[in-house]
Structure 1
Amino acid sequence: MRKPLTKPRKEAAQERSRATVDALIAATARILVREGFDKASTNRIAAVAGVSVGSLYQYFPSKEALVAAVIERHQQDTLRIVRAELAQAANQPIERGVRTLVAMAVKAHRIDPKLHRVLAEQIPRVGKLEKVETFSRENYALFKAYLESHRQEIRAVDLELAAFVCVTSIEALTHTAVLHQEIASGEETEALIDEVTRLVVRYLTG
């Protein structure tokens, strides 16, 4: 079975072209949230965006390419938060730093949570669409760098493996709590952050 094309046909260079691409990406996101992946056709996306299907195909060869663009934009928004919070945590001792990172994960999942849930749960894993996650490989590398800079505070452990265990655990717990509405109040959020922090710190310090 031939894989759908997930790369844009061309980059939007002019302001008008960028506005068209932005409208198409925004329309795709709205349809994914309201109607789901299966209902997101190129005709439907073009209609919601207020552009012709011909204009859509100038930039995107398929709906999968549009979904990939939505994913990329969502991840860029998330990554901005991650980088800022990691920079803040860089010089914090391990318990405080981990708590900062767990709180960051909750915050990141609250960026358009309905869209994130659709992206994580409905999208077929094809090509670029495989990359539906809050934490990219860059984030694993950033967390590993944080652990390296605090080596004296943690037990002897393979840092690459430790970064994988910690980030995957934080991602899974905060994803489920936020996207499935397991936490509804500020107090519940703080309690979750405390418990996940305790889990990760105890793993790291033994």
Structure 2
Amino acid sequence: MRKQPRQQRSRALVESLLDATLLCIAREGLNAATTARIARYAGISVGSLYQYFDRKEDLYAAVLNRFVDEMSTLINDQYARMPQATLSEFVREMLNAIWDFLERDEARYLHLSRYWNQMDSGRYLSALEHKMLMVISQVLLRHPPPQPVADVQVRTYVLVNGIMLTLIRYIAEPAPGISRDQLIDQFSNLAQWLIHAPQ
């Protein structure tokens, strides 16, 4: 970002640019989301956009950063409101909440997620992975398995990355005959199996 927005009006303009970026990607695709078109969606001149962002990739990065922040807040909120949940229950409710979040506001974040592989998204995916690993570890501390699990770190890693990679794949190219509910059921079952499976 070229210019740090310090005044409320400047911050509001930056937020409107991020909203415009999301809307442009959702309606026209990533390749169409040029600085000129994003500025048009935001109702400002390209010159005004360039006061804050040097190029479209900087806008994409800011949108991804906001996405990770909002997802982290959502995951924390789910953890806080489900103190009695088992890991399987938590995974089910968390994934339902994440899916609802992706589908709101014309499914803007859902469309954004279809282009993870075309953006420089590695560090943002790592941040989400870290957040999910931390929260799942906390769920297991609150409700430990009935028997000690020697390789629990490996199992939670498999669970989290299985969820993330499958969702990215499914969102980008939905599999015929496989529904959202079926996927969530399987991830909930996987969480149960990983914690209770034989060593």
Question: 2: CA distance between counterparts of 1:11 and 1:136?
Answer: 28
Tell me the TM-score normalised to structure 2 length: 0.79
1:200 matched to 2:191:
yes
Percent same amino acid among aligned pairs? Answer: 26
Question: 1: CA distance between counterparts of 2:126 and 2:168?
Answer: 10
Which one of 51, 64, 70 corresponds to residue 57 of structure 2? 64
Q: Amino acid of the residue matched to residue 90 of structure 2?
A: T
Q: Amino acid of the residue matched to residue 78 of structure 1?
A: M
- 8 Å CA contact retained: 1:31, 1:45: yes
Which one of 4, 13, 32 corresponds to residue 11 of structure 1? 4
- 8 Å CA contact retained: 1:78, 1:134: no
In the alignment, structure 2 segments of 5+ residues that lack a partner are none
Tell me the TM-score normalised to structure 1 length: 0.77
The C-alpha deviation readout for 1:171-202, integer Å capped at 9, x for no partner, is 34555667738437xxxx3x654443222212
Shift, 1:98, TM fit: 2.1
Question: 1: CA distance between counterparts of 2:45 and 2:35?
Answer: 10
In the alignment, structure 1 segments of 5+ residues that lack a partner are 1-7
1:55 matched to 2:31:
no
5 Å-filtered alignment, 1:1-206, equals: 8-92=1-85, 94=86, 97-113=87-103, 114-123=107-116, 124-126=118-120, 129-130=121-122, 131-132=124-125, 135-172=128-165, 180=174, 182-183=178-179, 189=181, 192-206=183-197
The C-alpha deviation readout for 1:116-165, integer Å capped at 9, x for no partner, is 34333324242xx3225893412212212322343342542333222211
Q: Note the aligned Cα RMSD (angstroms).
A: 2.7
Question: 2: CA distance between counterparts of 1:99 and 1:176?
Answer: 23
Shift, 1:105, TM fit: 1.4
Number of residues of Structure 1 aligned to a counterpart in Structure 2: 189
Shift, 1:29, TM fit: 0.5
